[in-house]
Amino acid sequence: MFEFIDVKYKDVLDLPTLDIEQEKITTLVGPSGSGKTTILRMLNKLISPTQGRIIFNGKDLRQINSVDHRRHVSMLSQSPSIFEGSIRDNLNVGLRFQERELPSDEALNHILEQVKLNKLLEGSATTLSGGEKQRLALGRILLLNSEVYLLDEPSSALDDETEDIIIQMLTERVKKEKKTIVMVTHTKAIADKYSDTIIEISKGRCLSWRGNNERNN
Ligand SMILES: Nc1ncnc2c1ncn2[C@@H]1O[C@H](COP(=O)(O)OP(=O)(O)O)[C@@H](O)[C@H]1O
Ligand SMILES: [Mg+2]
């Protein structure tokens, strides 16, 4: 789905080749500062390679309009912004930005249930805890219903048990809907349990790429 060809980004990344497969859960792991976020940002076309190219579904990303691209590929950043207003407002913000129809309360409540956020839609978003805000931001992204989700440490603020529940929900949902996830996580257990492919990044290079047979079998 994504194919890197001789990609460099400044002196941050050097990726002669890297493939990300459609309808798979791909997890990027590696130490802080190794370039994981930079990779996701390139996949979202927030930044472009300073050398080489990235092919998305057979087309050079440079030839694809950034706004159009982000309708297909949405990104949850490492520290998503939750703004003042209700939980409903915060859930709807992405759809509003894309000038799309807003979901019914039933659909919004279903999403809250999926991200295990037992809150009222009218409730204030700013008073939520860090972990709750993270789940709200995840719900917001899921509502976009895009083909590809780029998730930058989506469960970093969650306790182990909640993290497992959330990532399990996420991966099941995405499998069922035949979508694609590229995520970053620091939790090895999560990477091993839920990924189809694990890509290890170190100092801007791909150290290893391995299919997770345990999961595929
Ligand atoms: N726009 C940029 N220009 C130059 N260097 C950057 C830029 N963005 C990030 N970096 C640097 O690239 C390295 C990798 O950053 P990042 O991708 O955020 O790592 P990770 O997500 O793996 O922790 C860091 O050393 C960071 O300071
Ligand atoms: Mg990062």
Read off the pLDDT of residues 41-79 as tens digits, 9 standing for 90 and up: 999 999 999 999 999 999 999 999 999 999 999 999 998
Which residue's CA is the nearest one to ligand 1's atom 3?
10
Does CATH number 3.40.50.300 belong to domain 2-216? yes
Which pLDDT value is given to residue 215? 62
How would residue 212 be classed by pLDDT, with cut points 50, 70 and 90? Answer: confident
Candidates 42, 76, 73, 60; CA nearest to 184 is 76
Kindly report the pTM of this predicted structure.
Answer: 0.94
pLDDT at 216 over 60: no
Domain ranges (residues) in the chain? 2-216
- Regarding the beta carbon of 210 and ligand 1, being less than 6 Å apart is answered no
Which residue's CA is the nearest one to ligand 1's atom 14?
35
Contact criterion met (CB below 8 Å) for 190 and 167: yes
Count CA atoms within 13 Å of residue 168 on its CB side: 9
Ligand 1 atom with the shortest distance to the CA of 184: 21
Residue with tokens 């805890």: 129
- The ligand placed nearest to the CA atom of residue 9 is 1
Contact criterion met (CB below 8 Å) for 13 and 35: yes
Poorest-pLDDT segment among 125-129, 141-145, 213-217: 213-217
pLDDT > 70 in the chain, percent? 98
**What does the pLDDT look like over 98-122, one tens digit per residue?**
899 999 999 999 999 999 999 999 9
Which pLDDT value is given to residue 214? 64
pLDDT > 90 in the chain, percent? 92
- The ligand placed nearest to the CA atom of residue 77 is 2
Which pLDDT value is given to residue 181? 97
pLDDT at 217 over 60: no
In the reported structure, the alpha carbon of residue 123 is separated from the centroid of ligand 2 by a whole-number distance in angstroms of 30
